[in-house]
Amino acid sequence: MKGWNGKILWIDLNKKETKTVEYPKEWAMEYIGGRGLAIRILWEYNKPGVDPFSPENLLIFAIGPLTGMPIPSSGKLQVASKSPLTGGYGDGNIGTLFSVEMRKSGLDAIVFYGRSEKPVLLNIENDKVSFEDADDLWGMDSWKTEEKLRKRFGRFSGIVEIGPGGENLVRFATVMSQEGRSGGRPGIGAVMGSKKIKAVVIKGTKGYDLFDEKNFKIEGAKALKEVRERPGYNFWMREGTMATIDWAQEASVLPTYNFSEGVFDEYKGIDGYTMESLKVDQRGCPGCNMQCGNVITDSEGNKSELDYENVAILGSNIGINRLQDVAVLNTLADKYGIDTISLGGVLGWGTEASQKGLLEGIDGRKLEWGDLKLYRDLVSEIAFRKTELGNLLAEGTMHACNKIGGCDFAVNAKGLEASAYDCHTAPGMALAFSTSPIGAHHKDAWVISWEVQNDRFSYSREKAAKVIELQRIRGGMFESITTCRLPWVEIGLNLDHYPLLLSYATGLKYTWDVIYEIADRIYALIRAFWIREFNTWNRSYDMPPEKWFKKPLTKGPLAGGKLSYEGYNQLLDHYYDLRGWDKNGVPTKETLKKLNLEFTIPTLEKIVKLN
């Protein structure tokens, strides 16, 4: 096989044994890599109903045929597992040198199973693994851990680690790298912690084998040059994703006070221009020529790498109006290795719960919007599961509200807290959150920028089709080729480079029809995985948070705006119909057969009625 490495490294943490195994060629062709390969492995080998924290739950690192190549922004790694936050499929995409070294190691995926008795550091050279005692690293934050490992293994080694959040099984702990790269929002870092893996180091020496290296390099160089020449490049280099704060405020979608409003009176204190005035550094993923990690010094003197999502959710969403203060919480989340988006979601939910009296009897403190000191304390309490409240919030909003009430203002879909877009007046984005394969993350379909310009308030078939188109490109193609999507999303790199690059790399003919079919296959298989895990499956799993239907906006130009149940159900019907799924969001037999997923039918038939 050209383009792929064709091998999976299996690491048994119980026995401290490993094996490197070739996987079926058809998997590479039918799922490409990254997310596609991860879900195929999980379907085949994960035991249905397994507890996400049990040794049997598989943890997967995967790359695709374009990862680590001389093309735009290709240093990305997919981390996936059954999620402890949602109970369904979970993954994340992290920019790290680990992906580049993994590419050179001759592997397409690493699967970790079992549980080490003691904290362990895995040191991988190509596919040779040594298991080292990590007692001295356990308890250390992610920055110190990486600093220590980099001193020992050198700056060009690939390193990923967890912080205390992952060690203490915070349900939204992530996998961390390079002081500010974080991946696996649905608790993939906690799965790593449950296996007692503190860090993994990798070094590869094998290079890569492409079908048509000459044309691949020419096409890659063209794309790299195009990135730098795009009209939006200079502004992107100034503000990166932070420009979205002003846009979100203007569009009334900036999450404010636990997604109660779409505008924040003090947004100027946290916007992209403020960031520019405070910027001290810029960094990003390996080999990227449009680096978007904008660094400022936080109020406590730490360097903090900011993105729109982090700033909106830890800023306006909890009433903090000063960027350096937002950065304090962001820094802590990075050091502790917990997801900023879910963190902002639980702090927002906790504040509303406190104000409604739901925390009485749990915690004597009263949470107020914008109380940096209290939020700062709570972040540590969550990461170390220290107090009763910290322990409750470490469960995420879905588990927490099931314990004490307040599910009517818990802003999550399938248990994953929503990224930073208020959807009272954005039905298409609500659909994107609710049908995303991992819960309410924007990565699969950031339809909101299209939606605010195109028939914003409608629940039309065209809108459902747009969500699917974006899911195919973003959640299907980019998550599987496993490169960064921002060159296309943010500065308009021509998408047609990607089918060509895939064809030159592998020797197979990739057209958009082929890529869309693969994307649909991956989506349907992830859906089948969810159904296998939830025998109560029905369309209510694809509903957005109640708050967006029941509590209208009270401020800004769209005051009074809210979602309509009737409209949303119509939109969801269009979505299901276009995907070839039934009224409960279950792929029909015909769809499964068309996508070469017949092997899921016997399992699904035991759980739901297949049409």
Rule CB under 6 A: which residues touch ligand PTT?
76, 92-95, 174, 180-185, 241, 285, 305, 307-310, 333-334, 338-341, 443, 478-479, 484-486
Applying CB under 6 A, which part among 78-86, 191-199, 283-291, 468-476 lies near ligand SF4? 283-291
User: Using CB distances below 5 to 8 A depending on partner kind, what does residue 255 bind out of ligand SF4, ligand PTT, none?
Assistant: none
* Whether the Cβ atoms of residue 117 and residue 133 lie closer than 8 Å to each other: no
* CA–centroid distance for 458 within its chain: 28
For position 291 contacting ligand SF4 by CB under 6 A, the verdict is: yes
73 part of the interface to ligand SF4, by CB under 6 A: yes
Closest C-alpha to 438, from 400, 412, 406, 467: 412
| Among the listed residues 100, 121, 227, 288, the single contact to ligand SF4 using CB under 6 A | 288
To the nearest whole angstrom, how small is the minimum distance from the Cβ of residue 506 to ligand PTT? 19
Q: Is 220 in the site for ligand SF4 (CB under 6 A)?
A: no
Instruction: Say whether residue 290 binds ligand SF4 (CB under 6 A).
Output: yes
The CB-nearest residue to ligand SF4 is: 284
The reply on whether position 306 binds ligand SF4 by CB under 6 A is no
Q: Which stretch binds ligand SF4 (CB under 6 A): 148-156, 290-298, 423-431, 578-586?
A: 290-298
> b/e for 110-125, b at 16 or more Cβ within 10 A?
bbbbbbbeebbbbbbe
**Can you spell out the DSSP letters for 500-512?**
HHHHHHHSS---H
Minimum separation from the CB atom of position 156 to ligand SF4 (A): 18
What's the min distance (Å) between Cβ of 74 and ligand PTT?
A: 10
Q: Which of 34, 95, 189, 475 touches ligand SF4 (CB under 6 A)?
A: 95
Chosen from ligand PTT, ligand SF4, none, partner binding at 288 (C-beta under 5 to 8 Å by type): ligand SF4
Helix ranges (H only) for 142-298 are 142-153, 164-167, 188-194, 213-229, 233-239, 244-250, 272-278
Residues near 360 by Cβ (< 8 Å), separated by ≥ 6? none
Q: Cβ 227 to ligand SF4, closest distance in Å?
A: 9
| Residue placing its CB nearer to ligand SF4 in the complex, 146 or 381 | 146
Question: If binding means CB under 6 A, how many residues of this protein chain bind ligand SF4?
Answer: 11
CB of 165 to ligand PTT, least distance (A): 9
* CA proximity to 486, closest of 279, 309, 274: 309
Taking the complex as a whole, the smallest distance from the CB of residue 458 to ligand PTT amounts, in Å, to 26
**Residue 531: which of 604, 601, 434 has the closest Cα?**
604
E strands, 335-444, where? 412-413, 416-417
The first and second tokens of residue 373, run together, are: 């000191």
Nearer to ligand PTT, 358 or 411 (CB): 411
Task: Supply 580's token pair.
Answer: 């070839």
516 sits in which H/E element = helix 512-533
Please calculate the CA angle 475-92-139 and round it to the nearest 5 degrees. 175
**Which span sits near ligand SF4 by CB under 6 A: 149-157, 281-289, 342-350, 509-517?**
281-289
Q: What is the 3-state secondary structure (H, E, C) of 142-160?
A: HHHHHHHHHHHHCCCCEEE
Q: Does 272 sit near ligand SF4 (CB under 6 A)? A: no
Smaller CB separation from ligand PTT, 133 or 300? 300
Q: Is 28 one of the binding residues for ligand SF4 (CB under 6 A)?
A: no
| Chain centroid offset of residue 317 CA | 19
CB of 303 to ligand PTT, least distance (A): 11
- Please say which residue, 31 or 478, places its beta carbon nearer to ligand PTT: 478
Residues in a beta bridge with 129: 124
Q: Are strands 76-82 and 59-62 parallel, antiparallel or unpaired?
A: antiparallel
Please tell me whether residue 292 binds ligand SF4 under the rule CB under 6 A. Answer: yes
Least Å distance, CB 492 to ligand SF4, is 13
Tokens representing 572 are: 């969801």
Displacement of CA 6 from its chain's centroid (Å): 25
223 touches 72 (CB < 8 A) = yes
Residue 479 interacts, among ligand SF4, ligand PTT, none and using kind-specific CB cut-offs from 5 to 8 Å, with ligand PTT
* Angle at alpha carbon of residue 310, lines to 308 and 316, rounded to 5°: 85
Minimum CB distance to ligand PTT smaller for 196 or for 335 = 335
> 502: which strand partners?
none
Q: Examine residue 77 and tell whether it contacts ligand SF4 (CB under 6 A).
A: no
Q: Where are the beta strands (DSSP E) in 63-127?
A: 76-82, 89-95, 109-113, 120-125
d(CA 216, CA 505): 6
Judged by beta carbon distances under 5 to 8 A according to partner kind, the member of ligand PTT, ligand SF4, none in contact with residue 216 is none
Question: Does position 92 bind ligand SF4 by CB under 6 A?
Answer: no
- Establish if 129 lies at the interface with ligand SF4 (CB under 6 A): no
Q: Please identify the residue of the shown chain whose CB is closest to the bound ligand PTT.
A: 92
d(CA 505, CA 69): 10
Confirm or reject binding of residue 484 to ligand SF4 (CB under 6 A).
yes
Residues in the chain: 611
Q: How deeply is 432 buried, as exposed, middle or buried, from its count of CB atoms within 10 A (0-12, 13-18, 19+)?
A: buried
Give which of ligand SF4, ligand PTT, none residue 291 binds (C-beta under 5 to 8 Å, depending on kind).
Answer: ligand SF4
Q: What are phi and psi of 409, to 5 degrees?
A: -125, 25
Least Å distance between CB 307 and ligand SF4? 8
Least distance to ligand PTT, CB of residue 445, Å: 11
Does 184 bind ligand SF4 (CB under 6 A)? Our answer is no
Tell me whether strands 109-113 and 7-12 are parallel, antiparallel or unpaired.
parallel
Q: Which does 185 bind (CB under 5 to 8 A by kind): ligand SF4, ligand PTT, none?
A: ligand PTT
Single out the residue of 275, 464, 486, 531 in contact with ligand SF4 (rule: CB under 6 A).
486
The residue with tokens 């999980």 is 42
From candidates 77, 173, 200, 285, binder to ligand SF4 by CB under 6 A: 285
Radius of gyration for the chain, computed over Cα atoms and rounded to the nearest angstrom: 22
284 binds ligand SF4 (CB under 6 A): yes
532 binds, among ligand SF4, ligand PTT, none (CB under 5 to 8 A by kind): none
The binding site for ligand SF4 (CB under 6 A) comprises 73, 95, 284-285, 288, 290-293, 484, 486
